[in-house]
Amino acid sequence: MLPLRFRRVTMSARVLVGVKRVIDYAVKIRVKPDRTGVVTDGVKHSMNPFCEIAVEEAVKLKEKKLVKEVVAVSCGPQQVQETIRTALAMGADRGIHVEVSGKDYETLGPLQVSKIFAALAKKEQADLIILGKQAIDDDCNQTGQMTAALLDWPQGTFASEVTLEADKLKVVREIDGGLETIKIKLPAVVTADLRLNTPRYATLPNIMKAKKKKIVNVKPADLGVDVSSRLEVLKVDEPPQRQSGVKVETVHDLVEKLKEAGRI
């Protein structure tokens, strides 16, 4: 007779996947003239690439019948619904849009988002949270870890391979020295690294189906989360311009130039 906990995990597991709407990877970033941030108006946005990998992993688990439901969550203004729809088109079952807009959205950071996820995990009785390892706009790499700490759940970060074994998760992590394999008990938080999988293209039949899937709106206050920030951005600058190199015709010229520059 299988322990009750094991049965719950494998037959009715619910996965929460966080998807963040960020400026598209291929867009050239421009700093606002007032140096308070980057230009986002009229700029192409898309799902954070690591979040795509997270969605793909969750959908794969569902296809292997190891989890029952995949819920895509995003925090932000009306536009993040597009990002949730993309996750639905990739195979997520339903979406939750946590409404944060205006000044609150500008100052929204990993601490507030992790509080939101922790609250949602409890509310939705999630067994697994999969997030991207970091967002390509702020490069924070904090949300997964903070969420795990708030929930007091184990974490498998920088995952390049995830295997569900009974009620434990075997996670192969990419670390500086190579690969580390850990086993963590569910419920747990996993953050996806680049080599975890290759996200699928959302095909038309699934895009059509996704239109009928539900996205529910929720406010942070409903979850008891205060989204005010305790951080203030002082200024945002472009990195220093790379000076152009100089081509010289002869070795003699090279030596002269190096002497001029005080290098020799």
Partner 1 sequence: MGIFQRFARIPLKSTYIWSLCRQYSTDLTAVDRALIQHRCVHNRGLGASPGNPGAAPPRLPFSRVTQEDLAFFRTLLPGRTITDPDLLKSSNVDWLKTVEGNSEVLLRPKTTEEVSQILRYCNERNLAVCPQGGNTGLVGGSVPVFDEIILSTSLMKQVITFDNISGILTCQAGCVLENLSNYLEERDFIMPLDLGAKGSCHIGGNVSTNAGGLRLLRYGSLRGTVLGLEVVLADGRILNCLATLRKDNTGYDLKQLFIGSEGTLGVITAVSILCPRKPKAVNVAFLGCSSFQQLLETFQCCRGMLGEILSAFEFLDASCMSLLEKHLKLTNPITESPFYIVIETAGSNATHDEEKLHKFLEEVMTSSLVTDGTVATEATKIKALWSLRERVTEALTHEGYTYKYDISLPVEKIYDLVQDMRGHLGDMAKNVVGYGHVGDGNLHLNITSPSKDPALLAAIEPYVYEWTSKWKGSISAEHGLGLKKRNYIYYSKPSEAVALMGSIKAMLDPKGILNPYKTLPDNIH
Which residues inside 71-130 make contact with partner 1, applying CB under 8 A?
Answer: none
What tokens were used for 92? 């997520």
On whether the CB atoms of residues 27 and 141 are closer than 8 A, the answer is no
Does 136 participate in binding partner 1 (rule CB under 8 A)? no
Residues in the chain: 264
31/223 with CB nearer partner 1: 31
Provide the minimum distance between the beta carbon of 207 and partner 1 in the complex, in angstroms, as a whole number: 7
Beta bridge partners of 216: 96
Give CA separation, 105 vs 21, 23, 58, 77, 112, in Å. 12, 14, 27, 7, 10
- Shortest separation between residue 51's beta carbon and partner 1, angstroms: 13
Can you tell me the distance from the alpha carbon of 264 to that of 259, in angstroms, rounded to the nearest whole number? 5
* Binding track over 234-263 against partner 1, x by CB under 8 A: ---------------x--------------
Instruction: Report the residue number, 44 or 235, with the smaller CB distance to partner 1.
Output: 44
Contacts of 195 (CB under 8 A, 6+ apart): 160, 174
Interface with partner 1 (CB under 8 A), residue total 19
Query: Does 42 help bind partner 1 (rule: CB under 8 A)?
Result: yes
Q: Which of 8, 24, 141, 142 is close enough to bind partner 1 by CB under 8 A?
A: 24
Cβ neighbours around 78 below 10 Å, total: 10
Kindly list the distances between the CA atom of residue 157 and the CA atoms of 66, 130, 141, 189, in Å, as whole numbers in the listed order. 20, 10, 10, 8
The nearest distance, CB 203 to partner 1, in angstroms, is: 5
Near partner 1 by CB under 8 A: residue from 78, 163, 181, 198: 198
Contact footprint for partner 1 (CB under 8 A): 24-28, 42, 44, 46-47, 49, 198, 201-205, 207-208, 249
